[in-house]
Structure formats: C-alpha cells, structure tokens
Structure 1
Amino acid sequence: MDHMFVNEGYRVWHGASHLDDALQAPVDHIHHDLYAQGPTTDTAFEPLEHIPGLNVGGWYDAGDFDIRTQSQYGTIRGLVATWDKFGITRDQTQVEQEIRHVEMHIPDGKADLLQQIEHGTLQLVAQFDAVGHAIHGIVEPDLGQYTHLGDGVTKTDNLVYDASLGEHEVAGEAGSGRSGKLDDRWAFTSKSSALNYGSLAGLAAAARALEGYNDDLADKALSIAVETFAEEEGREPDLYRHGNTTGGPLEVERFRAAAELLLTTGEDIYAEAADRYWDEAKGEFFSAIGTSALAIVPMMPEDYAAEVRTASQAWLAEREESASDNPFGVLITRGGWAGSGTVVNGAILQYDIHRTFPGLVDTAEIYDAVDFIFGRHPAHNLSLVSGVGAQSKKVSYGTNRADFSYIAGGTVPGILILKPDLPENREDWPFFWGQNEYVIPNGASHIYLMNAVMDLSDD
C-alpha cells in the first residue's frame, strides 16, 4: 500500500513512501517501463512542477514501486466484484488512513475488502482532483530509482522538490518541508479517453461498495464517474496511446464504464450506452468484457440477454478448442508474459456464465483452472500463489525480491513457454518478471475465483 506505513508484528514491511509525489513529467518524453508524455502536459502544471494531492492511496505495481493507473482501477473492479457477489467481511487488518498506518493481523471492526477498495479509490479520486482527468501513473524519474531494491520509503527524501533550493538544501519541517533534491516521482498526464473510461468504471464500482462505509468518498467517486462519462460522451475521444499505461482498447473501456455506472445507478442512460457499446465490443473483446456483460443481464432487455448467451456459447467453444492442445484443461498462453492471469480470469468468466446461464458450462473445467494455479502444471508442481498450497512459490518478484523471498498471497504469472515449446518458471531467480512478478489485479482475481469455487462446492 503506497503512501502508508505497513507493519506486521515485529516486522515493518515498508514505510510511508513517496509523500513527495509528484512532479509533472516533461513533454515529448519517452520514459522507461512503457510510460511517455505527449507534446503537452494536458494540465495546468509546467514540466517538473509539483502537482499537489497525489500522495495518497494506491498500491505498488507490485514488484515495481510505481502507481500504474490501469492496474489500480483493474484491482478496484476485481475487489468490488468480490464484494458484490460474496460480501466478504473478513477483518484481519487495521488501516488508519488519517495517520497513514497499517497493522496486519490486528482486526479493527472494518471489512478488509472495503478498506482496500477505499485505498485504491483515494488514488483515482486524487488524480481527478489534481488535474481533472485520469493519468497514466506515477513512476520513478530515473533508472537508478526504478531498479531500487529495498524499502520504498528510502527511494526519495519524502520532501517536495523546490527548484529554488540547492541540491542538498532543506526548508521546512520533516513531513511537510521542501528540498532541492530532484528525486520525486513523475506523473504522466497526457489525456486518454480509454484511461478515463477505465478509471471512471473503477470509481463507479467503488461507489456502490463504499456506500454506507465511506459515504463521502462514495459520493465523490460516483460524481466524478458520472461527470467524466458525460464529458467523454460529448466529444471526440482522446486517442493518445503508449505502451500499456494508457488504458485498454477503447471499445472495452467504454463498455465497462457504461456497465459499472448501470450497476451502480440503475439509470436508463447507461443501459442504452451499454447496449450501444456492446455491439462494438462483443465480437473481438468478449473475453475482456464478458464478466461486465453478464453482470448487467438482469437490468437489460431480453434481446440483450439472448445476445450475451450466444456470445458466451461462442467463447466457450473457442476456449475448449484452445485448451485442447495440452492435458491440463486450460488455455496456456505463449507470449512474453506467462498466463496465470488468463487461466484465472477465464475460470471467472466460466463461473459467471454458469451462474447467469446454468447448463452452458462444465463446472469441472473451473476446478481445472484452480488445480493449474495450485500446482498441476508444467515446469514444477508449486502453487503460483505464494504461501497458499502444499508447496508454493517462495522466490518471486515482489518488493522484497532482493531477499529472494516472497509475500504471502502474491500471485505470479507462472509458466512461460519458451519457443517453441519449453515450459519454464524459474525458482532460483526472481527477476524474470514475466514469470515471477506479483501483479495486483491478479491478486484480486484470485480472491474472486477462490470464493467462486467455494460457492460451487455448496451446490
């Protein structure tokens, strides 16, 4: 949890880091880790000027220390889906946002799931408050910081950069002062409609989960989502794209935004938008929008439900064919990033299809996915979720990767297929992030799937 002190018993996991966030990224700049700033800032701030208010909420992405907005809203939507479906009230963590302090294994009378949704939402809201739209993220200014190994609190001096001071000068008090050290992270702010839609989908989802828990934040999140959706619908989209930091395909993000707003408000305007954007996304992008499409079936006309059923059947047939090339019953990807996320999210989509249209899915295939994640896969028999399973990944690419150690509950990408057909997952070298990096949306997806199979077991 960025911007927070996180403690577990006698162990400090990390201090309250990056309290000096963030400086406006320079224009026409291609950065590391797939960030880039376009020809303008699209904000009121000059390059390397401090943007106030961004030093709140958000999670490390997860082996690295940046706040990648696309990961933030994906994680929020995953956690909200679990809350919507299963209402998990587990309480094992004390979170005090006002003093930026977290104590693990100390109940505080509040559902951990809601506290995490709140934490991610605070960052998304802060972005809109600061610059008026979603930003790509906040990332280290140089490769020296980017490759930092250790506590995130030691990456910067936690003092806001002041160009009028010398490099080693400090003004003001600790925690609220300024320094001349140019070590603050950069915010990349070029406007992207896809990123805006994705963020407002996360905010709309968060609003319904936080209602009754943090009403002020819920109201603000929904207000931003409603206003941003109206703005985007009323103009030509901003199509700026770079790497994987500027949102998913516009067709996907638009549909998800309409669906989440419909689920939260029930208003016809969003049903109409969802129906319109369903038509442009249902073919090529069903695997990405399927869970959202299924969630709104009870709120949509009968012809929509029939179309979603047909699309579900087509996807299931395609999935069965793709999974037939291996004995594990799941789709094994062959790109540069291993595929545990594809396996988990595919199983979630199967579960949601099963609950919406009973009889279409062989539920044994959902258990195949769970078996794959927990050790029935090529390369070795370790669970791909650290600390979960009889034997699990104990050397992974998390924030403590320099210790060749792990973080319980972290989910790794898993089995990478080296061309042409060699499966690999290195247990002796955590730095292969395509195999071993903890990715925060995958953690949220794993939580949903585990509750889904427990629900199935009650049938």
Structure 2
Amino acid sequence: KIHIDGYRQGERETRYADNEHISGLDWGGWHDAGDSDLPAGSIAITTLPLALAQEEFHPDIDLTSIDRARRLVLLNTPDGQPDLLQQIAFGAESLLAVCRPEGHVFPGIIENSVPSYVHVGDTINITDNRVYDSRLKPDQTEHGRSGKFDDRWVFTNRNTGLQYLTAQALAAAGRVLRNTHKDLAETSLRTAAKLWDYEQSHAPIYAPNAYCPSDSGYRNEEIAATVELLLTTGEPRYQQRLQSQAMVETVRSLTPEQFGEGPGWTLLRALPRITDARLKEAIISLAGEWKPRWESRMASNPYGVPYPSWVSTPDWKLESRSGIHSFFVWGHGWDLQEQALRSYYFRSSLPGLFGRDLLLNVVNFVLGCHPANNRSFVSGVGLDSALVAYGFNRDDWTHIPGGVISGPSLIKPDFMELKLYPHLWYQTEYVISGAATFIFDVLAADKWLAE
C-alpha cells in the first residue's frame, strides 16, 4: 500500500495490528523540512555527519539546554553539555527507538491522512497528543486517550540498505558518545552490531520505502557499515568481512564514479586497518582514477563545484525533462555539501593526490557564490540569506535560523532561478541532513583555513 510522500507498507512483519499503539517512538530525531515525518533514513544520514564532525573537529559550543524529563528545550541557555553531542544523542535515540519493537529498523513515521500532512504551522497542532482508542467517541478523552483518529502511522517493513545505513550511523554515534553518554553509546554500538549480524545471515530485502536505499548492486551500505563498525570496535570479524573474497571482488569491480560517489570515502578511512594488498591497491587505484573525473566536474562551471555530470555535458538540454519532481529542477546544494564532506576524507587520506578546493568552493557556493543571485542558502548566515523558505512556518513567509535550502534550480530552457517564494520546495526547502553536512563542511573549512 502506497501512502503519502513515498511511504509504503507491504506484508505484515510485526506482531502489531493495524492502528495499534506502539510505545517508545516519541523521543529523539528531527522532523524533516516542512514535513512532519520522522524518516529513519534521513535521521541516519543526519546523525552520521554530526558524529563525524564531532570526531574530527571537537566543537564545544553550548548554547542550548535540553531537559528530557520535562521535554523542554531552551535556546540561548547553556546547560554544560556541548550542543553537538546532545544532537548526536538525539539522533541515536530516535534510531534505537525504531529498532526496539521488532529488532529491525522501521522506515519512518508520518501523518495518517492528507489533511494532516498538508498542515502548515507548529507540528504540535497536528494531533491532540493523545493515543487513539477506538472504544471512545471522537470527542471523548479518557486517561490520556481519545477517540480522535489523528495518530500518526509508523511504517514497518525491513529494508537491508536501511539496516546497514542505521548500523553505520549508530556505530559512529557510539564512538563519539563514549565519554559523555556511556550507556547510550554502548546501546548504540550493540544495536549496530545486531543489525549487521542479522543482515549478514539473512537474504537482503530492499523493500521500497521513503528515504530507504535501493540496491546499488555493489554493497554500498554494507561496506559503509562494516567500515564504521571496524573503526569503532577494531573487531577482527569486521576486518575479515571487509577483506573477504566477495567484498574485494566487489570493490575491484567498481567504476571510478561508483567508487567516488559511493563507498570510496569510507574505504579510505579504513586504509590503516586493511592488510589485504589487493583491496588496498584497488582502493588507491580507484581513488586515482576518480580524481580527473572530480576535477573535470569542477572545471565545468565558474564556481568550481562538482555539478552532476549530466548538467556539465555540452549537449545537455533542459527540455529533456521537466516537472518539479525532476532532478533537473531541484537545486543541488545538499548534494554538493555531501560531496564536499567526502572530499575531506579523500584529502585527509591521500593528501598528495587530493586538494582542498572542492570543499572550500562548495562552502563559498552555499554562502552565496552561485548562479541566480548571491543569497546564502543558510538562513540567517550572511548579509543576504534565505529568510523566506519552505519550513513549517512557510505560510508566514519567514524562516528557521540555521536551516539550509537546496538552492537555484534549472528551469527550462536555460534559466537558473532562486526565487523569494516560500512554496517552491525544490529551491527553498529545508532538510535536516542539509544542515548536518553544512555543519561538517564549514568546520572543515575553518580547520583548513587555520592551518
């Protein structure tokens, strides 16, 4: 059954009946953009760069207080704990919550109806915040329950890519939370290992669902999870799997593009732990083959950023595809930020081969050096920034400070556009992972420029 925003529910895999309440899913994570869903895939790819940023740059900013017992967050009020570590913990707690009921990752939570989904305003007003009870009339309430059928739905089918993606994020989170959130770190690592173990012993299932990976054909998520668990634990079994015949052959079969846009940056981080000469040689060789393709994309535009290859080809025609759901219309800021993050590890691992330009150019691009205008994609950062954007307060023609939009889109036949209009989600939407990769990139730029 296909629901809203790409969420799907296949055959029942849990013990829960339709519309039965599942407890423990109401803490952790972040609502994505102007939607009010909690997609596990998005939360995983947000938690990961935050954890890596903490590991690499150790920011100690403390401007926020979080009181879990009272469910209270106070801005501009320090509580003695670094904000970034608290956010990493928040992401990990959400991922753990959707693993606990059945042992696999639930893909996400979203409103049960279109009228609720298109609600504009504070998310707290979408439901009455009481658990639905079919025995009560719609206007009845009793012991924290109500007869109003406005509870959100959780989608529950297992997806192998999401399992590995979550394992990777939890392994990284567990590594950086050890000194401040010991119990959470141990639970995160234990859960990551269980998810990995399960997928190693069961046939893969890539059930289509919102924000869940599809099968790349080259074990992208499995490689990433294996590397992250190896880096966190040092356990031989992860090294053995990474250096298995099947995995080595998979890596050796990758094209430079698959390597550079997939597991390359993760494999490079594992180089010091790799003892198999064939695997090490394949990784370094593929990195060398990826470099000229990377540089070619950067040279294809005045901004020095790696626009997708299909944008850079001379014979590319904008008329070939159209529509707001087309990748030809969406702004590319978030993708560029992710590539910048990868480039940090390419340079860190092979400094004699890769330079700093890609990451620094992307940060400049996001902060205003881009087509259409000079507006910063980061709301509130820069003299002219995205102060009208697609967040939950879009109907107020305003913004969420620190939100990061995707940026200029390519409009037929040859026009780059970034309008001052809140309902063009393909230009001005916020997503949580976009904020996370920007945090990583700007901290990396600050580090490099201070060297």
With 74-83 and 431-440 compared, the bigger mean Cα shift is at 431-440
The offset of 1:239, in angstroms, is 2.5
- Contact 1:54/1:130 (<8 A) preserved: no
> Which SS does the other structure have where 1:94 is aligned?
strand
Residue matched to 2:25: 54
Q: Which residue of 2 aligns with 1:307?
A: 282
Aligned to 1:187, the other structure's residue is in SS state: strand
Letter in 2 for 1:442: G
The reply on whether 1:434 has 2:426 as its aligned counterpart is yes
**Deviation for aligned residue 1:80:** 0.6
Whole-Å Cα distance in 1 between the matches of residues 4 and 102 of structure 2?
Answer: 23
Residue in 2 aligned with 1:77?
48
**Counterpart for residue 289 of structure 1:** 263
CA contact (8 A) 2:206 2:213 kept: no
Distance 1:124 1:362 in 2: 35
Contact 2:366/2:377 (8 A) holds in 1: yes
Aligned partner of 2:211 among 245, 250, 253: 245
The structural deviation recorded for 1:411 is 0.8
Q: 1:321 aligns with which of 284, 296, 306?
A: 296
In structure 1, what is the Cα distance between the partners aligned to 2:228 and 2:273? 12
Q: Distance in 2 between matches of 1:383 and 1:423?
A: 15
Q: Indicate how the Cα distance of structure 1 residues 366 and 53 shifts in structure 2: closer, same or farther if over 3 A, else same.
A: closer
TM-score, normalization by structure 1: 0.89
Q: Post-superposition shift, 1:367?
A: 2.0
> What is the match of residue 110 of structure 1?
81
Alignment correspondent of 1:394: 387
Q: Is the contact made by 1:73 and 1:120 (CA closer than 8 Å) also made in structure 2?
A: yes
Aligned mates of 2:23, 2:385 — CA distance in 1: 42
The whole-number CA distance in structure 1 between the counterparts of 2:264 and 2:434 is: 17
Residue 209 (structure 1) aligns with:
176
Query: 1:101 aligns to what?
Result: 72
- CA shift for structure 1 position 248: 4.6
- Structure 1 CA distance, aligned partners of 2:58 and 2:272? 19
Q: 1-side partners of 2:203 and 2:357: how far apart?
A: 45
CA 389–134 in structure 1, closer or farther in 2 if over 3 Å, else same: same
Aligned to 2:445: 453
1:15 aligns with: none
Whichever residue aligns with residue 345 of structure 1, its letter is E
Amino acid in the other structure paired with 2:408: I
SS of 2:74's equivalent in the other structure is strand
Cα distance in 2, alignment partners of residues 274 and 417 from structure 1: 40
Query: Do the aligned partners of residues 368 and 129 (structure 1) sit closer, same or farther apart at CA in structure 2, a change above 3 Å counting?
Result: same
The number of residues matched between the two structures is 424
CA contact (8 A) 1:41 1:47 kept: no
Match of 1:423 among 416, 428, 437: 416
RMSD: 1.7
Deviations along 1:342-388, whole A, 9 cap, x unmatched? 22222222222111111212323432222211111111110111111
Q: 1:387 to 1:274 in 2, by over 3 A?
A: farther
Q: Deviations over 1:78-107 (max 9, x none)?
A: 101101111112111111122211111111
- 5+ residue gaps, structure 2, are 312-326
Partner of 1:263: 231
What is aligned with 2:399?
A: 406
Quote the Cα distance in structure 2 between the aligned partners of 1:425 and 1:401.
Answer: 16
Q: For structure 1, list consecutive stretches of 5 or more residues without a partner in the other structure.
A: 1-28
> 2-side partners of 1:325 and 1:410: how far apart?
28
Between the aligned partners of 2:249 and 2:396, the Cα distance in structure 1 is 49
Work out the percentage of aligned pairs sharing the same amino acid: 35
Instruction: Look up the match of 1:5.
Output: none
Distance 1:249 1:63 in 2: 28
Cα contact 2:305–2:336 (8 A) shared by 1: yes
Distance of 1:98 and 1:315 partners within structure 2: 49
Who is 2:34 aligned against?
A: 63
Aligned letter for 2:99? F
Aligned to 1:342: 335
1:146-157 matches, within 5 Å, as 146-157=117-128
**Does the alignment pair 1:35 with 2:28?**
no
Corresponding residue number in structure 2 for 1:280 = 250
Report SS of the residue matched to 1:99.
coil
How far did 1:441 drift?
Answer: 0.9
Q: How far 1:48 sits from its partner (Å)?
A: 1.2
Q: TM-score, normalised by structure 2?
A: 0.90
Q: Distance in 1 between matches of 2:437 and 2:358?
A: 17
**Rounded Cα–Cα distance in structure 2 between residues aligned with 1:196 and 1:45:** 20
For residues 63 and 440 of structure 1, the distance between their equivalents in structure 2, rounded to whole angstroms, comes to 10
For 1:443, the equivalent position in structure 2 comes to: 435
Answer whether contact 1:252 1:285 (CA < 8 A) is retained.
Answer: no
Alignment match, 1:3: none
Mapped partners of 1:402, 1:383: distance in 2: 21
Instruction: Give secondary structure in 1 for the equivalent of 2:263.
Output: helix
| Deviation at residue 72 of structure 1 after TM alignment | 0.3
Query: Which whole-Å CA distance do the structure 2 matches of 1:391 and 1:309 have between them?
Result: 42
Alignment-mate amino acid for residue 312 of structure 1? A
Is 1:255–1:278's contact at 8 Å kept on the other side of the alignment? no
Partner of 1:330: 305
